Amino acid sequence: MARISPRDLVHGATLRRLALPALVVVLGLQMLRVYIPSLAWYLRDTVGVGSITLGGIAFATFALGFLAPLVRRLAGSRGALWASAGGLAALRVLEQFSSSPGLDLYVSLAAVALFLIFLGAFVGHSRAADGTGAPARLVGGLILGLALDTLIKGAGGTLDLSWTPTIGAVIVVLALAAGVLWAIAVEPAPLRSAASDVGWSSALPLAGIGSIFLVQAMLLQNQGWVAEVSGIPSPTAFVVLVFGNAALAAGAWLALARPALHRLGVAALAALLLYVALPRTTGFGGTLPLMVLVLQFTLGWALAIIARRGEEPSRTGLARTSVGMTLGMLLYLLLAFVYYVPFDIALPLTRSSVLPLASFVVAVCLLGSLRRGEPRAPQSDPTTPTAAIALAVLGSVIVLLTPSPAPSDREPTGRVMTFNIHSAFDRAGRLDPEAIAQVIEAADPDVVALQEVSRGWLIDGTVDLTYWLARRLGMHVVFSGTADPIWGNALLSRRPLQESGSAPLPVAGTLLPRGFLWTRLDLGFDRPLLVIATHLHHVADEPEPRLEQIPVLLEFWGGQERTILMGDLNAEPDWPEMQLMRQAGLVDSWAEAGEGPGLTWPSDDPFQRIDYIWLSPDLQALTAKVIDSTASDHRAVVAEIAPR
């Protein structure tokens, strides 16, 4: 048996060729995760721009990808790489040093536009420079870029480097940017007469790449999603993701190395699997980790076939290729828009249609990429899957070596807190979970009810806040999604959670589903304490939904002793909603022990008291205070409680 050496598994020349697209994908995805939250939280929430206007700005930004042919014509093939990838690298470094949400927005807008121009320009450049090796280079670069991006995010506890003001983050960003510049510098310049574009039937299937990117962002590279749906710890979900990327690379390798499998029957089965399984990931439960591997393998196979459709360029220029790539990314944006905007504005399409549509697009592009005739020559270079496996092993080692702070075993203080954390975006519109952690740390509560908690929404920067905060503070955590599996309420506790559960609240004609979360824990009283955390309908002049939601909470409470009900109730103390709470026998901790009006919203200049800690009649509030902080758009409320 022939002995296999490392050189047989990793080809240095191939790795060098993959470096440019892989590193640019990492930087591009990082800037997308700055740009999209900046639109939602800075431009909309802080500045006050409407959702429809935001959509127009976002679509105009993505449409700049159509400029790739013009940039290539003006600067040449290699010059277009310098302009797009080099410009992206420079902007990424600039953004790392920014602490201004406004600057973040404009820098990320320009960076995303350059990233989209690069995608089209690179495909044309690679066809002209690499010939029939161009599809493998594109696919390998995209996959290793996704794998490296997930590795970097997972190593940071799912928080992007952009929001991590440490010297280590700066070093990594500088290294990534330097790698991009080096890769461009060693990139050969193809002949201007070399063919670089394809016909429409080969260019349009490239639109499927945008939907693949969306599925990756929302599901298959989403650590919080996999953890929450499958019920596994977030670090374990990270291991699933990195090995999922190895499966993605393996599927692509199979498609490139075994072109005889490019048959309609095989492709139809793959398309059917994607269309049926991707929209139903919430139903897989504990088997989701296995399905991630299966789906990633299938998507890798599909991606390689889509890329090979344009293996034989027939003309100079870049127009058709640019249209295919940019249409795909516009579809990425459109589907993301359709998923998140209905929480604010009713649209003809529902959120539940997003993943079926994305899966359908990938399936159509896969089937449209098949061609009749003799199979293409096999390309069996194992560099991409080997590198992906190496990154997966490295990710596993990081998990094993990363300590998990154990919750303190101190004596309870009886101090409780409620805090609407605004998805960890501060009043200025910048993502800063460290500021949230510092507010909680300074108050030093035994238990904290959190509202507006994201475990990985794209518009929230895809950070898993439950994992990040629990690890940062050394606390137990339990979470319950309300809007979808990864956005809702959470409870942090320094004491072990004896049991917990959750339930939905009436939607009552609103757009954003609500729910409540409960747990029992020992705070040193004569019996365990029942803690209920909730977040009610937010529109002030629409009391009807809250008047339907509160009776459900009161029915669950059922007059039990040793109970705390707290959260963002979105109602003033003298409104009918809060009168229901008092009539049921609950005691407002602020009315009992607070001083002054206790205003909590908005945090920079509050004029409403809408955040509460309610107690069962057998408990009393010894102290109550509102914490002056703009880490969120709400101020936190803290009370020290004891039995009467």
Output the pLDDT for position 404: 77
What is the rounded distance in angstroms from the CA atom of residue 323 to the CA atom of residue 334? 16
Q: Give 373 or 426, the one with higher predicted confidence.
A: 426
Q: Give 80 or 12, the one with higher predicted confidence.
A: 80
- Residue 408 is assigned to a structural domain of this protein: no
* Residue 79 sits in the same domain as residue 197: yes
Mean pLDDT of 395-414: 85
Q: What is the pLDDT of residues 60-85, one digit of tens each?
A: 999 999 999 999 999 999 999 999 99
**Nearest residue to 388 via CA among 499, 249, 501, 206:** 249
* Residue 397 sits in the same domain as residue 419: no
The residue among 376, 401, 426 that closes a domain is: 401
- Residue 407 is assigned to a structural domain of this protein: no
* Residue 449 sits in the same domain as residue 311: no
Output the pLDDT for position 12: 86
Residues 6+ positions from 131 with CB-CB distance below 8 Å:
none
**Nearest residue to 119 via CA among 103, 139, 95:** 139
* Residue 441 sits in the same domain as residue 308: no
- The total of structural domains in the chain comes to 2
Question: Quick one: DSSP state of residue 447?
Answer: E
* Residue 423 sits in the same domain as residue 395: no
Q: What is the pLDDT of residues 378-394, one digit of tens each?
A: 888 899 999 999 999 99
The yes-or-no verdict on residue 1 having pLDDT over 50 is: no
* Residue 605 sits in the same domain as residue 561: yes
Mean pLDDT of 491-518: 95
Mean pLDDT of 129-135: 92
Q: What is the CATH number of the domain that holds 162?
A: 1.20.1250.20
Range(s) of the domain holding residue 356: 6-401
Q: What is the CATH number of the domain that holds 510?
A: 3.60.10.10
- Residue 409 is assigned to a structural domain of this protein: no
Going by DSSP bridges, is the β-strand pair 611-615/587-588 parallel, antiparallel, or unpaired? antiparallel
Q: Give 263 or 436, the one with higher predicted confidence.
A: 436
* Residue 21 sits in the same domain as residue 64: yes
The yes-or-no verdict on residue 260 having pLDDT over 50 is: yes
Q: In angstroms, how far is the first alpha carbon of the chain from the final one?
A: 80
Confidence of residue 215 (pLDDT cuts 50, 70, 90): very high
Mean pLDDT of 320-348: 94
* Residue 391 sits in the same domain as residue 437: no
Confidence of residue 371 (pLDDT cuts 50, 70, 90): confident
Output the pLDDT for position 407: 74
H helix and E strand count, the chain: 22, 12
Kindly report which listed range (215-219, 340-344, 550-554) carries the lowest average pLDDT score: 340-344
- Residue 219 is assigned to a structural domain of this protein: yes
**Nearest residue to 469 via CA among 434, 423, 495:** 434
- Residue 358 is assigned to a structural domain of this protein: yes
The whole model's pTM is what?
Answer: 0.95
Confidence of residue 191 (pLDDT cuts 50, 70, 90): confident
Output the pLDDT for position 488: 98
* Residue 355 sits in the same domain as residue 421: no
Question: Alpha-carbon dihedral of residues 233, 239, 241, 245, nearest 10 degrees?
Answer: -170
The yes-or-no verdict on residue 578 having pLDDT over 90 is: yes
* Residue 301 sits in the same domain as residue 341: yes
Kindly report which listed range (4-18, 413-427, 503-517) carries the lowest average pLDDT score: 4-18
79 CB burial (10 A radius; 0-12, 13-18, 19+): middle
* Residue 175 sits in the same domain as residue 310: yes
* Residue 425 sits in the same domain as residue 374: no
Mean pLDDT of 537-542: 95
The yes-or-no verdict on residue 374 having pLDDT over 70 is: no
Mean pLDDT of 299-318: 93
- Residue 632 is assigned to a structural domain of this protein: yes
The residue among 369, 401, 433 that closes a domain is: 401
Mean pLDDT of 124-140: 94
As a whole number, the mean pLDDT across the chain is 94
Confidence of residue 617 (pLDDT cuts 50, 70, 90): very high
